[in-house]
Amino acid sequence: MPNLQMLENKLPVAPLKLVVMDSAKELGEEINSYLVEFRKYLQATFKDMPSWEGYAEDSYLTQADCPRFGTGEAKGIFYESIRGKDLYILVDVCNHSITYTINGYTNHKSPDDHYQDLKRIIAAATGKAHRINVIMPFLYEGRQHKRSNRESLDCAFMLEELYAMGINNFITFDAHDPRVCNAIPLNGFDNYITPYQFIRGLLDKEKDLIIDKDHLVVISPDEGALNRTVFFANVLGVNTGMFYKRRDYTTIVNGKNPIVAHEFLGDSLEGKDVIILDDMISSGESMIDTARQLKEMNANRVFICCTFGLFTNGLRAFDEAYEKGYFERVITTNLNYLPPEIYDKPYYVQTKMSKFIASIIDFMNHDVSMENVYTPADKIHKVLDRYNKRLPLDEEESNV
More confident call, 210 vs 376: 210
H or E stretch at 324: none
- Stretch 83-99: mean pLDDT, rounded? 95
Backbone angles phi, psi at 52, to 5 degrees: -105, 10
More confident call, 127 vs 78: 78
Question: Which residues neighbour 105 within 8 Å (Cβ) at sequence distance 6 or greater?
Answer: none
Q: How confident is the model at residue 397 (pLDDT cuts 50, 70, 90)?
A: very low
Residue 167 confidence (pLDDT): 95
Q: What is the pLDDT of residues 343-353, one digit of tens each?
A: 999 999 999 99
Q: What is the pLDDT of residues 12-69, one digit of tens each?
A: 889 999 999 999 999 999 999 999 998 887 666 655 565 666 678 889 999 999 999 9
Look at residues 382, 384, 365 and name the one whose alpha carbon lies nearest to residue 55.
Answer: 365
Q: ∠ CA 340-344-347 to the nearest 5 degrees?
A: 115
Look at residues 377, 277, 284 and name the one whose alpha carbon lies nearest to residue 331.
Answer: 277
Residue 144 confidence (pLDDT): 83
Q: How confident is the model at residue 149 (pLDDT cuts 50, 70, 90)?
A: confident
Question: Which residues neighbour 131 within 8 Å (Cβ) at sequence distance 6 or greater?
Answer: 13, 14, 86, 87, 168, 169
The beta strands (E) that lie in the chain are given as 16-20, 64-65, 77-78, 86-90, 99-102, 105-108, 131-135, 169-173, 188-192, 216-220, 239-247, 259-265, 273-281, 302-309, 329-333, 348-351
Q: How confident is the model at residue 3 (pLDDT cuts 50, 70, 90)?
A: low
Over 80: is that where the pLDDT of 382 sits?
yes
Q: ∠ CA 146-149-155 to the nearest 5 degrees?
A: 25
Q: How confident is the model at residue 5 (pLDDT cuts 50, 70, 90)?
A: low
Cα distance between residue 261 and residue 252, in whole Å: 16
CA distances from 5 to 8, 57, 205 (A): 5, 20, 33
When mean pLDDT is compared across 171-180, 222-231, 233-242, 247-256, the lowest value belongs to: 247-256
Question: Which residues neighbour 248 within 8 Å (Cβ) at sequence distance 6 or greater?
Answer: 257, 258, 259, 260
Q: What is the pLDDT of residues 116-148, one digit of tens each?
A: 999 999 999 988 999 999 999 999 998 887 777
Residue 57 confidence (pLDDT): 84
Cα distance between residue 91 and residue 134, in whole Å: 8
Asked whether 141 and 111 are in contact (CB, 8 A), the reply is yes
Asked whether 26 and 337 are in contact (CB, 8 A), the reply is no
Q: What is the dihedral of CA 114, 117, 118, 121, to 10 degrees?
A: -160
Residue 53 confidence (pLDDT): 64
